[in-house]
Amino acid sequence: MCGIIGYIGKDNTVEVLLNGLYALEYRGYDSSGVAINIDNKISVIRSVGRVSKLEEEIKKLNIKDSIYGIAHTRWATNGEANINNAHPHKVGKVTLVHNGIIENANVLKRNLIKEGYQFNSDTDSEVIAAFLDYSLRDNSILDSIELLKRKLVGSYALGIIIDGSDELYALRKDSPLLIGIGNKGNFLASDITAIIKYTSDYILLDVGDVAILKNDSYEVYKENKKINKEILKSTSSNISNDKNGYSHHMLKEIMDEPQVISNLLDRYSNSDSWKELDLSEYKSIDIVACGSAMYAGLVGQVLLEEYAEIKTNVYAASEYRYKKKIYNDKTLVILISQSGETADTIAAMREVKKLGIDTLAIVNNSNSTIAREVDRKILTEAGVEIAVATTKAYVLQVCVLSLISYVTSYKKGLLKDKISYNDFYKLPDLVDLVIKNVDNYKEVISILSKSESCFFIGRGIDYAICMEGSLKLKEVSYIHSEAYQAGELKHGTISLIEKDIPVVAVITDKNLKEKTLSNLGEVESRGAKGIVITTEGLDDNDEHLKIVIKSTNRFLDSILVVCVLQLIAYYVALDRGCDIDKPRNLAKSVTVE
Ligand code: G6P
């Protein structure tokens, strides 16, 4: 959802900004641009498409180095992805980059037009620049920024340059922004990955903070008063942008899964640490999230109800905010988010907190808004995830929910199956085996990559897995794919079944195996190509093309199937020549509602 970076200092500014943009490209990649100060004049260079295009443009210009600059990579919200809508926007004395959405931009724009301003883009961001320029006519810079804060409705992280002032300005509301403190200069950035090459010291800006950056100093103000903020240190091991020799981040991140699962299990190997996972005090749970994180919640719902006997519902955060909420005296709301910056999930969390309901976040980014504002959190610690399609972070979300269900069930004395915590330790090796066995999935990969449409069917926990498998496939390969509760397909959607359309049935639940197989039979008899992904012991149906994984227990089997589905999605997208790490129209961190 747009990435921003700014730099002021002795290093090569253009190089710092471009490196930052490459690291932030996962946040959006429709267009990009830089604004730099050359000979006391601000030059804006913008380009449609990837950051590499911008770099080519900049090289052609053979520009002198600059002492400071700001840059932006865009995921279009207001206005299509064209050169006029690309950031930075310059109006009068103000040049800025913006991440977020200004809800009252049209009203502000109408008033500014009356004051003589003309607009060259369809963006709300240009309106911010114009308003600030207008305020600067009668006010100091800091006062103008305060006025701006009062005027804007919506979300923003802003990096600003003002003609005649050799400083960078940064401020935020809801969209993330930090400042980096380096030996050779200072930075502003949407996240630490953008600047880790140069510094690991940073300050998180809170809503209302305004930072002023000079090349050898910085100041942070709250309501025009200077304040001190804690300098944090990032551990670079967690945020490497390296593909480790793999052709794509997505593949590298799938390969990381055995290790990150193992790290998670180690964190909870001591039963004293189980306090964090024990939810036995709650009578009902609402899981609220978006995208894959919501699908992780669906797996959690089945396990929490089955093992911990806690009534659990799962909601898309964008819906949850506006629905009537019915809580009992012991309701917990679990927010799940890789980035911790997803606008709808943040908004849902804030609303729930206002109502006095307990919140728990399962979150990957420990510095994120959700991690900082939630009542209690469990960090997934998957490390940075660069590919837009989540893999390892999703797997860890499911692992955490599995552990919560296991521990809560154990604490409530409900655990009937003979499963010990040590059994969870089988998981890293089994995931590794799933990865090594990729040759066994080749035939399925080949069938799917030749199709334009397919279905995934399953019941219970297998349906939850299908939702993620189907999403993964469609987001990276652009094949139309739908996940259905196996029994529901015949109530309408079966009319879409044509000859040779692949239907993948996921079967890990022995109680539901026969039912799902008969649903698969219904579509096969109408010409579909049935494919079964199942576990050892449930694979006694010879008539289907099958992928069989080693069976463990109900807490783990779903994770293993998901790894298979992630690999299938990856290789299908590879076969089809798709842009795997940056699929069209998507962004990894969705910071608008
Ligand atoms: C985007 C990403 C998805 C992700 C979803 C929720 O749509 O492309 O991969 O699942 O946002 O993101 P979060 O950071 O809250 O997990």
Ligand 1, from 292, 337, 374, 380: best to mutate by most atoms within 8 Å of Cβ? 292
Distance 368 CA to ligand 1 centre (A): 14
Distance 19 CA to ligand 1 centre (A): 24
Closest atom of ligand 1 to 292 CA is 10
- pLDDT, position 238: 53
Whether residue 258 is predicted with pLDDT greater than 80 in this model: the reply is yes
- pLDDT, position 271: 85
- pLDDT, position 481: 97
Q: Could you give the count of Cα atoms lying within 13 Å of 151 in the half-sphere of its Cβ?
A: 21
Identify the CA nearest to 389 among candidates 574, 197, 188: 574
Whether residue 30 is predicted with pLDDT greater than 70 in this model: the reply is yes
Question: Which residue has better confidence, 63 or 222?
Answer: 222
Whether residue 503 is predicted with pLDDT greater than 90 in this model: the reply is yes
Instruction: Express as a percent the part of the chain with pLDDT over 70.
Output: 98
pTM for the structure as a whole:
0.87
- pLDDT, position 239: 56
Distance 156 CA to ligand 1 centre (A): 19
Question: Which residue has better confidence, 585 or 97?
Answer: 97
3-state secondary structure of 325: coil
Single-letter amino acid, residue 254: I
Distance 306 CA to ligand 1 centre (A): 27
Distance 328 CA to ligand 1 centre (A): 29
CB 533 within 8 A of CB 549: yes
pLDDT band, very low/low/confident/very high, at 75 (cuts 50, 70, 90): confident
- pLDDT, position 170: 98
pLDDT digits (tens, 9 = 90+) for 106-138: 999 999 999 999 999 999 999 999 999 999 999
Q: CB 324: neighbour CB atoms within 10 A?
A: 4
Closest atom of ligand 1 to 294 CA is 10
Identify the CA nearest to 331 among candidates 308, 312, 307: 312
Q: At what angle do helices 51-61 and 13-24 cross, to 10 degrees?
A: 170
pLDDT band, very low/low/confident/very high, at 384 (cuts 50, 70, 90): confident
Shortest-distance Cα residue to atom 7 of ligand 1: 291
CB 114 within 8 A of CB 71: no
pLDDT band, very low/low/confident/very high, at 161 (cuts 50, 70, 90): very high
Single-letter amino acid, residue 340: G
Of these residues, 2, 454, 563, 578, which one is catalytic?
2
Ligand 1, from 191, 588, 591, 593: best to mutate by most atoms within 8 Å of Cβ? 588
CB 456 within 8 A of CB 470: yes
pLDDT digits (tens, 9 = 90+) for 521-565: 999 999 999 999 999 888 777 678 899 999 888 889 999 999 999
- pLDDT, position 241: 67
Distance 500 CA to ligand 1 centre (A): 32
Distance 590 CA to ligand 1 centre (A): 7
pLDDT band, very low/low/confident/very high, at 275 (cuts 50, 70, 90): very high
CB 387 within 8 A of CB 364: no
3-state secondary structure of 401: helix
Shortest-distance Cα residue to atom 3 of ligand 1: 291
Shortest-distance Cα residue to atom 1 of ligand 1: 588
Q: What is the secondary structure of 133-156 as a DSSP string? A: HHHHTTS-HHHHHHHHHHH--EEE
Ligand 1, from 250, 318, 337, 339: best to mutate by most atoms within 8 Å of Cβ? 339
Region 282-299: mean pLDDT is: 98
Shortest-distance Cα residue to atom 2 of ligand 1: 588
Shortest-distance Cα residue to atom 15 of ligand 1: 337
Cα distances (Å, whole numbers) of residue 368 to 235, 372, 591:
15, 6, 12
Distance 450 CA to ligand 1 centre (A): 27
Region 439-459: mean pLDDT is: 96
How far apart, in whole angstroms, are the C-alpha atoms of residue 23 and residue 16? 11
pLDDT digits (tens, 9 = 90+) for 340-349: 999 899 999 9
Question: Apex CA 538: angle with CA 532 and CA 541, to 5°?
Answer: 60
pLDDT digits (tens, 9 = 90+) for 214-228: 999 999 999 889 999
Question: Apex CA 313: angle with CA 277 and CA 371, to 5°?
Answer: 45
pLDDT digits (tens, 9 = 90+) for 291-321: 999 999 999 999 999 999 999 999 999 999 8
Is 2 marked active-site? yes
Using a 6 Å CB cutoff, which residues line ligand 1? Answer: 290-293, 337-339, 342, 345, 388-390, 586, 588-590
Shortest-distance Cα residue to atom 5 of ligand 1: 291
- pLDDT, position 236: 52
How far apart, in whole angstroms, are the C-alpha atoms of residue 287 and residue 312? 7
pLDDT band, very low/low/confident/very high, at 11 (cuts 50, 70, 90): very high
Distance 184 CA to ligand 1 centre (A): 35
How far apart, in whole angstroms, are the C-alpha atoms of residue 592 and residue 125? 14
Closest atom of ligand 1 to 295 CA is 10
Is 499 marked active-site? no
Whether residue 237 is predicted with pLDDT greater than 70 in this model: the reply is no
Beta bridge partners of 506: 533
- pLDDT, position 224: 84
Ligand 1, from 342, 384, 474: best to mutate by most atoms within 8 Å of Cβ? 342
Cα distances (Å, whole numbers) of residue 251 to 118, 143, 244, 470:
47, 49, 10, 17
**H-type alpha helices, 391-460:** 392-411, 421-424, 426-436, 442-449
Closest atom of ligand 1 to 397 CA is 16
- pLDDT, position 240: 62
Dihedral of the CA atoms 65, 69, 73, 78 (nearest 10)?
Answer: -140
CB 493 within 8 A of CB 484: yes
Of these residues, 472, 474, 513, 588, which one is catalytic?
588
Question: Which class for 409: exposed (0-12), middle (13-18), buried (19 or more C-beta within 10 A)?
Answer: buried
Identify the CA nearest to 362 among candidates 375, 343, 344, 347: 375
Summary mean pLDDT of the chain: 93
Closest atom of ligand 1 to 339 CA is 14
pLDDT band, very low/low/confident/very high, at 586 (cuts 50, 70, 90): confident
DSSP state of 63: P
